[in-house]
Chain A
Amino acid sequence: MIDITKTTVQIPVPVYRLLRGYSFDPSLSVQLDTALINEAVFKIVWEKGLQPGPVGEYLEVIDFDPASGCFYEPVDLNDKYILATDGLVPSESNPQFHQQMVYAVAMTTIQNFEKALGRRALWSSYRKVQSDNLTKSAEYYDEFYQHLRIYPHALRQANAYYSPAKKALLFGYFPASANAPGEHAPNAVVFTCLAHDIVAHETTHALLDGIHRRYIEPSQQDTLAFHEAFADIVALFQHFSFPEVLRHQIAKTRGDLASQSLLGQLAQQFGRAIGQYGALRDAIGEFDVKENKWEPKQPDPNDYQTIVEPHARGAILVAAVFEAFISIYKSRVADLLRIASNGTGVLLPGELPPDLVNRLADTAAKSAQQVLNMCIRALDYCPPVDINFGDYLRAIITADSDLIPDDDLGYRVAFIESFRRRGIYPRDLRTLSEDSLSWNRIRDDQQQFIFRHLASRVRFFVHQLTYLNEFPRIENLQDLNDHVIELTNENIDYLKGKLIPRIDQRWSEIPKEAKENARKEILGEGSVPPDRWQSVKKQNICDHKYTDRELAEMIIWETMSDRERIFALSHTAQGALHFWLATFKQDSNSDDVKKFEELTGLRFWQSPEKDESALGLHYKNGKYAFEVHAFRAARRVGPDGERVDEVLITITQKRDVGIVADLPASYYATPEDERDESQTFEFRGGCTLILDLQTLKLKYVVKKLITDNERVKRQREYRNGEEQASLYATYFGRPGQSGDGEPFALLHQEF
């Protein structure tokens, strides 16, 4: 007998975990013609420490159903029987399968984001106040949240939403008979958590919030619409990136996706049981009951000007991207169809050969994946605040041409064309070509030495982000101090606090054993563990003297997850950038300052004439307040192997501007803490700086001018306007403005 417990064969950790799920939603499984395609197998990256829930690196599924007054047992995806069968069998009546389904779809969405952006996904942080008992001062810090929570049965209503306040996705369920009779048994329950598109949609809201946290502020009519539309685009194209979904339908319609608009019809299908969600897709086309035929909707160049309700407006954007996808698919399969038809382009009657079907489906799936990548990647090229659809088009074009200079397949042209057909283009553009749409590349004569200085320092953080195991020695940044920008000792201490906030609490939270393991990992066997992190006693390890505090920091760092380290490094980098920019030694009238302000659209240094154009900007010591809003490193590889190493820095500012009309200068003459805040709202401006780390040059600036008083006017009109309102809003306030912290709950609710 061989003792199998003593085997020396090392089995590699699997790359993927396969999980079965619905590709649409359960209602299609009971229809004969769609039952076959309604099951998909999701390939999820194998998570090492996946626990029952599932609780993994990114997600925490907790199945509480408050309306029913109960919990459901968490599924253990590492159960050997579950592993052996690619997950639980899709079933409406098994809550553990529901948990598996939300996990599988949400993880797929996360993977798509990470692939397109070339970095790990983080959830939006929570701004908390930390009060210091010693100095009696209060300071803000951003708390890291590892998990997005998913509650698959949180609500008894036809609604599902992302809650930024709880960092959670809440899914509802409801009796089917209420709004979709025919396809369901009379007492059947519709679960929103079982619809692929809804789960993907809500997860996307959370991911987008993690990247651009100001986008949930409804500053004008495009912002909430953008959130909605973007979530829908991701859901839609993620859906189409599964070839098995498309194969059956392509065979059925003989590959002619465009004229039958089958994809569009598919896109709508899922929404039937869900009601509100389906409405968004109406932009693509509608089913003509009399003709019994699905008709694509003809775009109207006035749509973008005339449609204002968030869902309907978002639908314009979805339709635009969808049409771009159809053109891309068409041009990519043209050769296949010619080959299959002996060069005529006219297919012989009868069923298509299965090989051709497979090729067509694969091409459609691949095109969908590419469109999805383009749409997600564009997020890095968007302004940090107040986005409109025109900005997004420009971001798509810029992001794509940056990575793939040669548009030989005409992807970008397809996008420009379909956006143009709906009247979506930037306000300030005369022509619509790739050149004019792409954000202007910063010319050499516009480069400024400040960016060169920043870029060289930013490399420190990019290095650390690349080698996350290495403990970042923040004090090394002082070696880079020069006459232009510098960090003081105080600054360094502050930044260390950013790297590991609440160090005493953290230290006490780490179990002894974990500390011990971490110490051995970093310092080797011979070292002595620090008793208390505060002690300044020094140890000599490998010819380097470490204080106990340093050792404690290193041990804490060792116990952090990669994503938390990324979070900590980004926030430290933001802090460092803030110091560097704030100490940039210039006087307000120098050419350099003028140039800098012109380039970034920000206002840094106070002067009387600037005050005029930027009334309401907060200031301190002769300088205007600003926030380094985000720091992101991007390493992307294009299809031809081109590598792009970039750093994206967003800086924002805010002004207090009058709600009803411009306020007189006298209002601003009163000290800030004595002003009547009920008269003002916060108007934000800012920019995304894209720095090329290889050349140390500024590549693009995507900006929303803080001085743009036309924008103030538009935001004011929007706030006071009626476009976004409903009867619900009449009584309960508007989405995002009601102050209840649930901007999406209302938007998705059926009232």
Chain B
Amino acid sequence: MPNNNGASVRIRMYRHGLGDCFMLTFSAEGKRDFDMMIDCGLLVGTKNGDAIMQAVAADIKQNLAAKEKVDGKEPIDVVVLTHEHADHISGFTQAQAIFDQIHLGEFWAGWVDDVNNPNYQAVRDRFKKQITGLKAAVAKMSNDQQSLKDTINALTNEFFMDDVLGANGSTTGRSPAWDYVTDKSASQRYFSPGDMIEIPGFEDLRIYVLGPPEDFETFTRVDPPSDETYRDKGSNFTLADSFFAAVTPSADSLTGELCQPFEGHLRIEIDRAADDDFFENRYGFAENAPNQWRRINDDWLSIAGGLALNLDSYTNNTCLALAIEFVKSGKVLLFPGDAQFANWISWQKLLWQIPDGTGGKRTVKTEDLLNQTVFYKVGHHGSHNATLKTHGLEMMTNSELIAMIPVSRTKAKSKKWEMPEENLLNRLVARTRGRVIFADESDITALESRSLDPDFTAKVKFGDKTLVRDQDNPEVLEPIYVEFTIAG
């Protein structure tokens, strides 16, 4: 219920599958509701995906019906796209016809997505280079490496590979969904860490920009050190230029030559080697020769799997991460997108100077915001490296903390992805005292058994049963969203 003193927010998580779509509606006594969409997308290849996203968009539109129209359309005041992964933005193309009838107000994204940023082109070029290389590597793989190919394709499809390469006629090198929102929104704003956003008319709201990190190079740190994750594994990002030079030899012949380990006269090309007794007898070149299983023609390509992952993580680190604060109560909602380690850890050095209410200024640190967090949108569907430990969840000490995980465990399991990661989930459940809302739970039963707080479960509401997951079984209807309202 709206609080007389300040604003309140209704957080609606759509239940469409493995992907993020959140509608935040801020209300305050005597004020027009303020609607903010954070992401709208679904994992590529989800069965019945277009119809599901159209149902989501239709539901969003319908819920805006009571609002005063802008240009004759229902308005969403702000659309936040955290990063350019299909499972966060695909809805705009899948349900474009419906979004055409919705007015998109401001578009918010991180500075890396700002064409006018001096580093923009460098970031895009890096993407392009890696995607070109990965594509070439996949093309070189043999049938024995089919499962690796599939996984890499699944990962890289998330980037709209063809669009980045311009193969679909994209002139921006961005995905159509992204272009759609930037074209159609009334204005675009790009934010840097340390920024603070105010919403006209909602003095009780203050939005702190946490990420993406200012420092271009920090994107490259993918995995956290062991004291910063609920798992232990450290890693360095290697650009592997020499690998890309090998899979795309024509791209840059100088690099290609420099990446060769030995001088040209020492090399014996494969067709020449095939005429040599030593190589013919020992290595063998014929198909189905008895010693074929010991050859290593394709093993070197397996590194592409890791590189695809790095690219994926890299994009996750470009996420616009926001902390939305209710000024009076100090309550904070945390929306980190899919930010990974580098993004999270960069927040720690941020400081904001804000009025202290007595005419002076006070300093807000990220730790303060984490301490005050009462709502956490779990990053990257609960994967192990998108929720920091010491400088993340362990700092969310507020006793009112609740969490939402936009995940489909069945889908993740079918892909063999560990989402949510078990140790993280256990810790989340402990921290929130069971107040964890899963997008894939269609009623209150599981939640009731997890949470011992009846006041909480009573406030969790499910939307109308209009979601058809399986077109073969259209009679099975599920609630299209789950929501929770927080009084500011």
Contact = CB atoms under 8 A, between A and B. Distances in A.
Contact of A175 (B226, B259, B269, B283): B259
B475 interface: no
Nearest to B234: A279
B242, B278, B296, B313: residue with the most chain A Cβ atoms closer than 10 Å: B296
Contact of B261 (A68, A308, A721): A68
A171 B295 CA distance: 14
What is the size category of the interface that chain A forms with chain B? 35 or more
Given A71-B268, A751-B309, A158 B296 contact: no
A157 interface: yes
B385 interface: yes
Contacts of A279: 234
Contacts of B231: 722-723, 725-726
Contacts of A721: 422
A62 interface: yes
A179 B238 contact: yes
Contacts of B51: none
B235 A751 contact: yes
Interface string B234-263: 111011111100100000000000111111
Contacts of A151: 296
Contacts of A94: 266
A453 B384 CA distance: 57
B176 to A, nearest CB: 25
Interface stretch (B106-114, B119-127, B413-421): B413-421
A725 B418 contact: yes
Nearest to B298: A66
Interface stretch (B10-18, B39-47, B300-308, B356-364): B300-308
B384 A174 contact: no
B329 to A, nearest CB: 36
B35 interface: no
Contacts of B151: 731-732
A89 interface: no
A697 B195 CA distance: 80
Contacts of B236: 179, 275, 750
A730 B383 contact: yes
A166 interface: yes
B303 A749 contact: yes
B423 to A, nearest CB: 5
A529 interface: no
B31 interface: no
A71 B274 CA distance: 10
Nearest to A51: B278
A53 B278 contact: yes
Interface in B272-310: 273, 276, 278-279, 282-283, 293-300, 302-303, 305-306, 309-310
B296 A751 contact: no
A65 B261 contact: yes
Contacts of A733: 416
Interface in A46-89: 52-53, 55, 60, 62, 64-74
A727 B309 contact: yes
A166 B292 CA distance: 9
Nearest to A313: B232
Nearest to A154: B296
Contacts of B87: none
Interface in A278-321: 279, 307-309, 312
Contact of A155 (B262, B263, B300): B300
A750 B297 contact: no
B266 A72 contact: yes
A71, A72, A187: residue with the most chain B Cβ atoms closer than 10 Å: A71
A740 B148 CA distance: 10
B233 interface: yes
Interface in A139-185: 149, 151, 153-159, 163, 165-168, 170, 172-175, 178-179
Nearest to B262: A95
A189 interface: yes
B303 A159 contact: yes
Contact of B300 (A156, A187, A309, A726): A156
A66 B300 contact: yes
A314 to B, nearest CB: 13
Contacts of B241: 175, 178
Contacts of A71: 267-268, 270, 273, 276, 279, 283
Contacts of A66: 296-300
A189 B257 CA distance: 12
B310 A751 contact: yes
Nearest to A96: B266
Contacts of B283: 62, 64, 71
17 contacts: A53-B278, A67-B242, A67-B243, A68-B267, A70-B270, A71-B276, A71-B283, A95-B266, A154-B300, A722-B422, A722-B423, A731-B151, A749-B306, A750-B235, A750-B236, A751-B305, A751-B306
Given A66-B298, A730-B383, 15 more contacts: A66-B300, A67-B246, A70-B268, A72-B266, A153-B261, A155-B300, A156-B303, A157-B243, A157-B303, A166-B296, A175-B241, A178-B238, A722-B423, A732-B151, A750-B236
Q: Ordered nearest first, which 9 A-B pairs have the shortest CB separation?
A: A751-B306, A70-B267, A67-B246, A71-B273, A309-B232, A726-B233, A157-B303, A71-B268, A155-B300
